[in-house]
Every structure is written in C-alpha cells, then in structure tokens.
Chain A
Amino acid sequence: MKIRSLLKFGLVAATLCAFSAPVLAQQVLSIVTSFPKDLTEVYKRAFEAKNPGVKVEILNKGTSAGVAYVREAPATNKPDIFWASAPDAFEVLSKDNLLAKYDGKNPAVPAKIGSYPINDPKGYYYGQALAGYGLMWNTRYMKANKLPEPKEWLDLTKPVYFGHVAVSSPSRSGTTHLTVETILQGEGWTKGWREMLQIAGNSAAITERSFGVPDGVNNGQFGIGLVIDFFGLSAKASGFPVEFVYPSVTAIVPANIGLIANAKNADMGKKFIAFTLSEEGQLLLLDPKISRLPVLPAIYAKAPKDYPNPYGGKIKAKVNFDSDLSESRYYVVSAIFDQTITFRHKELVAATKAINEAAEKIAKKPNPPAQKLLAEARDLAYTPIVSDEKIKDKEFLALFRDTKRDALKTKQLTGLEEYWNSSARKNYAKVIELAGQAAALAK
C-alpha cells in the first residue's frame, strides 16, 4: 500500500503547488532582458525589497530573441519591460509600436553623451547605463605567447595576432552588432569592413554568443576579444587576469530600458524604470560583478578610483553613433558578416594565413610583381561583398527590412545570401592562389 499512499501524496502535493501559485498571486512584473543573471538578480532583489508584494520575473533572452518574443506575445499578454544594450533593438521595437511612450526620465541625467542622445528623443525608451566598446585581453595568455598589448582596432589586423583574437557575430549578439556598426561608422563602410575582415581573419573563433568572447578570454582560450566594456571591467573586478581598453574608434552608447506597449502591469513597470534611473538604482551598477557606467554623472563621485568616467573626457569616443543608419541596414550587416565571415571563417583564416606568409617573404625580398599580386590578393580578401553604393540603395535595403516572409521572398533572400556565401568561398580560394604565386615570386 505504500506505493498508493505515495502516489496519493504526490498528487495532492502537486495539485497544491499548481493551485497555490495563483491564490497567493502577487503583482508580477515581467522583464525581458539580455542582461546576465549577475545584473538582473541585484536589481530584482533591491526592487522587491522596496516594494513588498511585487514579484519581479526575469525573462532572459538574447537581444534578437527578446525582440521576437515581445513581437510574438499576444496583445493581451505582453511582458512589461524591455531592457537591453543595443539601441537598434529599441528602434526596431518602437517602429513596430511595441513600446509605450511616456515621460519618465530622470532630469538629472544629461541629455546627451557626446552627440548621442541618452534618452530616446521620441520618448519610447530611456538610457539606463552607458557602454563603450573595446578590447579585452588575458594578461597570462599575452605573456605566454609574447604578444604586445593592443591599443586600437587596427592593431588587431597585424599578423602578430594571427589566431589569438576572438569576436562574436552581429546576427547573434546585439552588442557585437553595435561594435561592428561602430567600426563601420567610424572608419567608413569599405575601410571598416576591410578592418573587420582582417580582424576576423586573425580570429581563432567567431563565437556563438557575445559572452563567448569574454568567457574565452577569461579562461585563456583566446588572447584578445572585442567586447562591450562591462564584460572586461566586471571580469577584471571579479579577479580574472584581464585588461580592458577603449580604442579611439569607439562610441559611447546607452544601454536602454523601455516600457512595452499594452503592458499588463504598466504602473509597476514605470516604477521599476524610475527605480533603475534613480540614484539608488544607478549606484547598483557599480557592483563589481556588474561594472557598468551609470548615466547619472553624480554617481561617479562614489565610484572606485580607476573607474572609467565617460563624462570626464577620459574615454575619447571619436565616433558619433548614428542609430538610424545602423537600424536601416541592420539585417544587411548581419547577413554580410555571417555569409562572408562566420560561415566561411575557415576559408578566411586560411586566406589570411596565406597573405601573411607571402607578406613575410616579400618583406625579406622585395619584389614589385609579387607585391602587386599580394595587393590584389588583399583587395580580393578584404573588400566587402556589398559595395558602398549598394548599401545606400533604398530598394536593396527594403528587401531585408520586411519581416513578412513569403515563399518567394524567402527564396530571393536565401538566393542572395547563398550568392554572397559562395562568392566569398571562391574569393578566399583565389586569394590563397594569388598569395601563393606572390610568395613563389619572392623566393
């Protein structure tokens, strides 16, 4: 009979659990966010302590998965808050009328950082923290491999870093998308891609998640990674042997928070947003495990001595990030990156290796025809598949913008992506051939 009573007990317990939840129903605030548990847990706990009876529910999604989630949630059951780094994601959401417009800004927060508005001028979302993009490296790895410390993106294109770098893909991570877009805006489309392709050619891996880069640098799988600042700063604060710098081609961009349109619990949502923007909420950003830059200038007075202060002019951000531009070509940039870099990474690395080897030989024995061949190989390898003119073409961009996909459209798009992919493969193979010829001439 034991089994029977056990079963009964299980059933009773189960039913109790299932039905006790709604009976005790508190006010539930649901937040869609791409931020790690370290950050959300701190805010959740602080907010729940201040507001008894409120339960904060964190829905942890990647940025793009979060956007998809908000879009697909039925109108009667939308989550309350969207909280993520990439401003582009907020642009996408507000264009689709998925964010609520209301005035909830903290007047003590400056209007602009550099020339970039901290709060959405249209009032759909608010800057909650500032973030810059930079380079993070593992000091033990650098020492073991005798690598010099990099300062600029351009440094990473040097042959000495071959196989030591790691980046993520913009289609997978909103922050990587920002980094790539920052380089593209800072250096210009063609030159930016040239740099990006060279860096990718030097990379040991194109990681799946944006966290894959700092994680790999932390544990020493990779030497140097392109990361958003708090990844580097928080790892350093947690004791990892890493360093972080802001290169001059960087942009300081706000990480945002916004109220979702038709939120189930809009009042509580507004209260939470106000909390994150208040002095108390901003101070939480200084937690070593979080290490983010507050938007409230007064907080920096309470920060540790070496804490980077974007308001103090210590970080020279040359790029004035244009989020409209970024948003207009969002999918194209991701698709180009994936088709010519992520999915053809093996070939790109082989091409880069061939170029480096040829360049080394030619440097020892200068030879003009060989140099010409090498230049040709470089152009072939590092020229973006979509030209500067084409990326300004409205019709071309429109093809990618539409999210509605019928079979014909899918076919058209996949056809185009396939063409990029196969051209990249062909080009990289040709590059290896050309570089080989150049190296042979220099013998």
Chain B
Amino acid sequence: MTTTVHRQFTFTQAAIALAIALFLMLFLIVPVLMVIYVAFANPDGGLTLQHFASFFQISLMRESFWNSLIVATLSVVFASLIALPLAYFTVRFEFRGALLIQTLGILPLIMPPFVGAVAMQLIFGRSGSVNLLLGEWFGFNLPVMQGLNGVIFVEALHYFPFILMNLVVSLNNIDSSMEESAQNLGASGLRLFRRIVFPLAMPGYIAGAALVFIKVFDDLGTPLVLNVTNMLAPQAYLRITSVGIEDPIGYVISVLMIGFSLFALWASALVLRGRDYATMQRGYSGLAKRRLKPWQTVIAYGWIILVLLLVLSPHIGILLLSFGNIWSFSVLPDSFTLDHYKTVAQDSPRMVWNTMLYCGLAATLDIILGTAIAYLILRTKLPMRRSLDFMASAALAIPGVVLAIGYLRTFRGVQLPFMDELLTSSWILIMLAYTVRRLPYALRSCMAAMQQMHVSLEEAAENLGASKQRTIYRIVVPLMAGGILAGFVTSFMTAAVELSATIMLTTAQNDAPMSYGIYLYMQSAAGRGPGAALGVLAVVIVALGTYFSHRLIRSRAADQEARPLQKIEV
C-alpha cells in the first residue's frame, strides 16, 4: 500500500483488504495456478506442451473433449427450447399460468441433478416406466436416457430455469414503445418477435445460456450416476483418483475446463459488447400484455403442463423410490414402505449434520467476506479494491473438480496445526471449497444490498459522532440484513447440493456431507431406497431454504421499495 499525501483509507481497511486478498490467494488463486502449472510442467522443472500433445493423442480424451462440448451445447439448446416459450407466455399474455411458470422455474433447482438422474433412469430409462408403457401400448421405445442423451436430457431439464429467469427479467425490461413502433411500421407475429423482441431480450438470454453452458461443463455427478465417463469432468476425476495425483492428463483436462468456462463468459461478453440495449424512456415497463385466444390458451397450457410433468418427474421418481420397496422392470414400485427413512434416520444423521455444519460455516464465511468486500469497494477509496471483486468472482469460472484437484495438489502433505490430521483429508478443506465456490453469489447479494442503501445514512451517523466501526455495526449491517441473509441462504443451499468438489475431497465417511452420502448409498442394491430417502431430505431442506429466502426478499423489497428482483442462482 502506498501512503500518498492524502490517504483516503484507514489502516484497518487496508488490513482487512489484505487479509481477504490473502485468503483468496491461498484458497483460490494459488491452487488454480498450481493446476495450470502442473499441466505445463516438465519433470525437470521446465515448461512443456508435451502433456497437451499426449492428451490429444489419446482418442478417449479427444472423444471426451468433443462429448463435453456437444453435451454442454445441446443442453443449452434444449434448455432454450423449453425456456423460450415459457418466458414469452409469462411476459406477453395475461393468464393464470404465470404463477405455474414461476413455480416451474424453481422446482428443478431444488434437486441436485445427480439425484434426479437416478430417478430419471427409472422413469425414462431403457426399462423405465415410460418405455415399458410405450412398449406395451405402441411397441416402440424412446432412448432418451441412453449415453449422452441421458446427460443432455437431465441437464437441460435441470438448468433451463437459469435461461427462463434471466429471459423473463430482460423481457420485462423492454420498453413497450419499441414494440409499438415496430407494429406501426407493419411488423407482427413471428417477425416482430424475431426482429424486435428477441434481440432486445438478448442480454438476459445470453447471460442465462452462458451460465447453463458452464454448469453443464462442470457437472460431475450426473454423468457418473448415468455411467457416462467419456466426458472431461469424469475423466479428470477418474485420472486423478485412480491413476494418481501425479498424472499430468488430469491437469490438462482441468486447464481445458477452465478454458471453456472462461470462453463461455468471454463469448457472452463479446456478443453483448458494442451494443446498447438500454431503451430510452420507459412509458410502461414490459411488453403489452394480451389476452390469449382460445387456441393459444390450449397451446400455452399444453406446453406448460408437458414441461411441468417433465420437470416434476425426477421429484416424483425419487419420492417413489424412497417409499418403494422393490422397483424392478415395472411401471411403479411393487409396494410401499417407510423403512428407507428409518435406515437413514439410524445411519445418517451424521451426514445431515455435516451438511448443516459445512454449509453453515461456508455461508457464514461467505457473507462476512461478501459484506467486507462490498463495503471496501463501495464505501472506501482503497487502491485496487476492485481486484477483490475480480478475484472473488473468478471462482465462477473455476469448475469444482478443478478447484478440488488444485487443493489436493497444493496442500498435499500439509498437517493441520494441533491435530494429527492432514488438511487434505479433513473436512475443513471441503468447507473451504464451498466457501470459495459460493462466494460470488453471496458477494452479489451483499453488493446489491449495499448499493441500495444511501451513503447519506452513514454520513448522518458519523456526523452524530459514531465511529466507522460503530456505523458499520449499527447502521450498515442492520440495513443490509435482508441482503446478507439472502446471500447466506443462497450460499448455503447451493453448497448443500454440491457434488463435484465434494466427491473428490471427501475421504472419511464420518466427514461426508449428504450429497456424498446419497452418491455412496446409490452404490448398493439395498442402498437405493435409503439413498433416495436422503435425497428427498436434501430436496426438502433446500426447498424450505428457497422458500424462506424468497419470502425474505419479497418482504424486504416491499419494505424498502427497492429493486424487487433478486435472482437465485444455483
């Protein structure tokens, strides 16, 4: 820190900024750089591209590379196909389905995709309920769950809400006068949509699509559960766990995965660059709403119900599985029982507790860091304060598998102080991975909350004699409370269903969180039911969290008449 003539920040502020920067360096930047370094390192210390050459020599790796690309792209395409009509219905028409659509936008997000995948296998699989019925009635089968199809199907159904929610927001922000002008000039129907409405909604769509692409690229649990391994994330996991932490190919895959994440973010920024989407004046916000014509009502409700059924199928499936006794080559389980829940209550309260502990700690750390960073950025003139935001947000582009590999490598052999345990085999690392990965979400919440609070309130407090610390405690934090709590809940819930980093960092069963427990249970014949029961439990916890955070945000929005929209990102 340079001390210029007029210092515009206090020593405490600088110290806090430095501490945060150190934390992020240690648990985000260094591990990621380590991964990148190993991918390019020669055993003698020099740099080489040899590992990349080896990677592309292995046809399995080339295949995985293309498969990941294809799956991520097609998931975006199918997610868009589901989301576009739904978004359009909500914004364009006055009808009661809008509430249904909002529900639709939340439902998939509360279930981790890998849990859904197990249920989808039973419903849409080779001998799943749907195919058994189709085979019996019409004599054909739909291979939706086979190989890559299954991954695309599950991912598209799980992630389409990202596109839906972003699209709805940007459609609502379109000035209706734009549309009216177009209509006056003679455009209507599809042409109007294609030339005016969709381009204006582009920013929201691109943001959602990029997010879906990154999420799908990063997802490890779903392909593993569906037995698909010729994709990059599973290959990275398998190389590192079975060949060993020295295997360079695992690092090469990691670098490629980071590359694709960055590429998706960069491409979405590029598409939007140089275009001005802000519309001049806002007569009334949003597109003009119309009433549905009867045939439109039929189509709209038909589509909504179809999507609703698809979206609900993993939930129904996992619920049936958790209550079902034996479910084999039949449309429904043979009989129903509560035994699986009993087993879970007996065996796994520890896992539920672990999830609460890790995610609670991670979310707490997240909001502390988030509030501190938001304050430093918005209320101080610390030099380079933006770089904190940049560093924290960089976590968005880092796949969980990659971060975990970075941790395992960077902290290899590091002993915990005062304990006879390795950092890499302790739960603390899992918790830290959650903290780092979910920090961007909490940070956004905190930033938004602080932006909405006028600085004059703090100035008033200081004028009345309160110190900086006192102002923060008595004015800033209480006023931000809603935003901070929303950030906490978002971090907590999304961490609760994380599997990519979890599966690599969990060593002992006693330290396993629920997400890993579900995966573990699913590895034996008698464990499928209890696994599903644990899955239902996780879904319920996350659903309750979502519900309360929504209520919180809504009541807060009503209080302050502030910007009402807070997106929940998983």
Q: Could you pull out 6 A-B pairs where Cβ atoms are within 8 angstroms?
A: A17-B357, A22-B418, A61-B241, A62-B242, A74-B412, A221-B127
Q: Does B177 contact A (CB under 8 A)?
A: no
Q: Is the CB of B328 within 8 A of A234?
A: no
Q: Is the CB of B328 within 8 A of A219?
A: yes
> For chain B residues 405-430, which have a beta carbon within 8 Å of chain A?
412-413, 415, 418-422, 425, 428
Residues 168-208 of A, flagged 1 when their CB comes within 8 A of B and 0 if not, give 00011000000000000000000000000000000011011
Across-interface contacts of A22 in B (CB, < 8 A): 418-419
A319 to B418, CA, bound (A): 53
Q: Which of B234, B412, B508 makes the CB contact (< 8 A) with A59?
A: B508
A77 to B121, CA, bound (A): 41
Chain A nearest CB from B51 CB (Å) reads 7
Across-interface contacts of B510 in A (CB, < 8 A): 55, 57-58
* Interchain Cβ contacts within 8 Å, total number: 188
Q: Does B325 contact A (CB under 8 A)?
A: yes
Across-interface contacts of B485 in A (CB, < 8 A): 3
Q: Does A140 contact B (CB under 8 A)?
A: yes
Residues 201-241 of A, flagged 1 when their CB comes within 8 A of B and 0 if not, give 00011011101101100111110000000010011001111
A219 to B334, CA, bound (A): 12
Across-interface contacts of B127 in A (CB, < 8 A): 141, 219-221
Q: Is the CB of B227 within 8 A of A207?
A: yes
Across-interface contacts of A58 in B (CB, < 8 A): 508-510
A17 to B419, CA, bound (A): 14
Q: Is the CB of A407 within 8 A of B51?
A: yes
Across-interface contacts of B241 in A (CB, < 8 A): 61-62, 65, 68-69
Q: Is the CB of B122 within 8 A of A219?
A: yes
Chain A nearest CB from B434 CB (Å) reads 13
A238-B526, A241-B326, A414-B58 known; A221 vs B481 contact (CB < 8 Å): no
Q: Is the CB of B523 within 8 A of A211?
A: yes
Across-interface contacts of B228 in A (CB, < 8 A): 208
Q: Is the CB of B413 within 8 A of A36?
A: no
Closest to B485 in A: A3
Q: Does A4 contact B (CB under 8 A)?
A: yes
A41 to B526, CA, bound (A): 13
> Which 7 pairs across A and B sit closest by C-beta, in order of nearness?
A220-B329, A36-B524, A220-B127, A140-B329, A235-B525, A58-B509, A65-B241
Residues 125-142 of B, flagged 1 when their CB comes within 8 A of A and 0 if not, give 111100000000000000
> For chain B residues 472-528, which have a beta carbon within 8 Å of chain A?
473, 477-478, 481, 484-485, 507-510, 520-528
Q: Is the CB of B229 within 8 A of A208?
A: yes
A30 to B328, CA, bound (A): 36
Q: Does B243 contact A (CB under 8 A)?
A: yes
With most chain A CB atoms within 10 A of its CB, the pick from B43, B485, B510 is B510
Q: Does B59 contact A (CB under 8 A)?
A: yes
Q: How many residues of A contact B (CB 8 A)?
A: 78
Q: Is the CB of B525 within 8 A of A231?
A: yes
Q: Does A415 contact B (CB under 8 A)?
A: yes
Chain A nearest CB from B419 CB (Å) reads 5
A10-B360, A422-B59 known; A411 vs B50 contact (CB < 8 Å): yes
A11 to B419, CA, bound (A): 20
Q: Is the CB of A219 within 8 A of B329?
A: yes
Q: Is the CB of A220 within 8 A of B328?
A: yes
Q: Does A102 contact B (CB under 8 A)?
A: no
Q: Is the CB of B523 within 8 A of A36?
A: yes
Stretch with Cβ within 8 A of A (4 or more), from B23-31, B80-88, B195-203, B244-252: B244-252
Q: Is the CB of A405 within 8 A of B247?
A: yes
Q: Which of B357, B413, B415, B526 makes the CB contact (< 8 A) with A289?
A: B526
Q: Is the CB of A406 within 8 A of B525?
A: no
Q: Does A372 contact B (CB under 8 A)?
A: no
> For chain A residues 251-281, which have a beta carbon within 8 Å of chain B?
264
Q: Which of A57, A71, A72 makes the CB contact (< 8 A) with B509?
A: A57
Q: Is the CB of A64 within 8 A of B242?
A: yes
Q: Does A37 contact B (CB under 8 A)?
A: yes
8 other A-B residue contacts (CB within 8 Å) besides A36-B527, A222-B126? A38-B524, A38-B527, A71-B244, A74-B413, A219-B122, A231-B525, A411-B57, A414-B57
Q: Is the CB of B523 within 8 A of A3?
A: no
Q: Does A325 contact B (CB under 8 A)?
A: no
A37-B527, A60-B509, A140-B328 known; A204 vs B247 contact (CB < 8 Å): no
A338 to B242, CA, bound (A): 15
Q: Is the CB of B527 within 8 A of A14?
A: no
Q: Is the CB of A4 within 8 A of B125?
A: no
Q: Is the CB of B481 within 8 A of A209?
A: no
Closest to A58 in B: B509
Q: Does A421 contact B (CB under 8 A)?
A: yes
Taking Cβ atoms with an 8 Å cutoff, the residues of B that contact A are 42-43, 48, 50-51, 53-54, 57-60, 63, 121-122, 125-128, 224, 227-230, 234, 238, 241-249, 325-330, 347, 357, 360-361, 364, 367-368, 412-413, 415, 418-422, 425, 428, 473, 477-478, 481, 484-485, 507-510, 520-528
Across-interface contacts of A324 in B (CB, < 8 A): none
Q: Is the CB of A410 within 8 A of B248?
A: yes
Q: Is the CB of A72 within 8 A of B245?
A: yes
Q: Is the CB of B328 within 8 A of A138?
A: yes
Residues 72-88 of A, flagged 1 when their CB comes within 8 A of B and 0 if not, give 11101100000000000
Chain A nearest CB from B275 CB (Å) reads 41
A305 to B229, CA, bound (A): 41
Residues 1-18 of A, flagged 1 when their CB comes within 8 A of B and 0 if not, give 111100100110010011
A138 to B330, CA, bound (A): 12
Chain A nearest CB from B112 CB (Å) reads 18
Across-interface contacts of A220 in B (CB, < 8 A): 126-127, 328-330
A38-B526, A211-B523 known; A239 vs B326 contact (CB < 8 Å): yes
Q: Does A396 contact B (CB under 8 A)?
A: no
Across-interface contacts of B330 in A (CB, < 8 A): 140, 220
Across-interface contacts of B244 in A (CB, < 8 A): 68, 71-72, 403
> For chain A residues 388-443, which have a beta carbon within 8 Å of chain B?
403, 405-407, 410-411, 414-415, 417-418, 421-422
Across-interface contacts of A61 in B (CB, < 8 A): 241
A411 to B54, CA, bound (A): 6
Q: Does A144 contact B (CB under 8 A)?
A: yes
Q: Is the CB of A407 within 8 A of B509?
A: no
Q: Which of A59, A73, A215 makes the CB contact (< 8 A) with B528?
A: A215
Across-interface contacts of B484 in A (CB, < 8 A): 3
Q: Is the CB of B125 within 8 A of A221?
A: yes
A1-B478, A55-B510 known; A205 vs B328 contact (CB < 8 Å): no
A158 to B415, CA, bound (A): 57
Across-interface contacts of A204 in B (CB, < 8 A): 126
Q: Is the CB of B328 within 8 A of A7?
A: no
Q: Which of B224, B245, B428 makes the CB contact (< 8 A) with A208?
A: B224
With most chain B CB atoms within 10 A of its CB, the pick from A37, A59, A62, A171 is A37
Q: Does A343 contact B (CB under 8 A)?
A: yes
Across-interface contacts of A411 in B (CB, < 8 A): 50, 53-54, 57
Q: Does A40 contact B (CB under 8 A)?
A: yes
A133 to B112, CA, bound (A): 35
Q: Is the CB of A37 within 8 A of B521?
A: yes
Q: Is the CB of B525 within 8 A of A421?
A: no
Chain A nearest CB from B231 CB (Å) reads 11
Q: Which of B249, B364, B412, B508 makes the CB contact (< 8 A) with A10?
A: B364
Chain B nearest CB from A240 CB (Å) reads 5
Chain B nearest CB from A235 CB (Å) reads 4
Closest to A290 in B: B526
Q: Is the CB of B60 within 8 A of A14?
A: no
Closest to B243 in A: A68
Across-interface contacts of B57 in A (CB, < 8 A): 411, 414-415, 418
Residues 33-73 of A, flagged 1 when their CB comes within 8 A of B and 0 if not, give 00011101100000000000001011111101100110111
A235 to B54, CA, bound (A): 42
Q: Is the CB of A41 within 8 A of B347?
A: yes
Q: Is the CB of B509 within 8 A of A59?
A: yes
Across-interface contacts of A138 in B (CB, < 8 A): 328-329
A179 to B306, CA, bound (A): 45
> For chain A residues 321-366, which have a beta carbon within 8 Å of chain B?
338, 343
A38-B524, A138-B328 known; A11 vs B364 contact (CB < 8 Å): yes
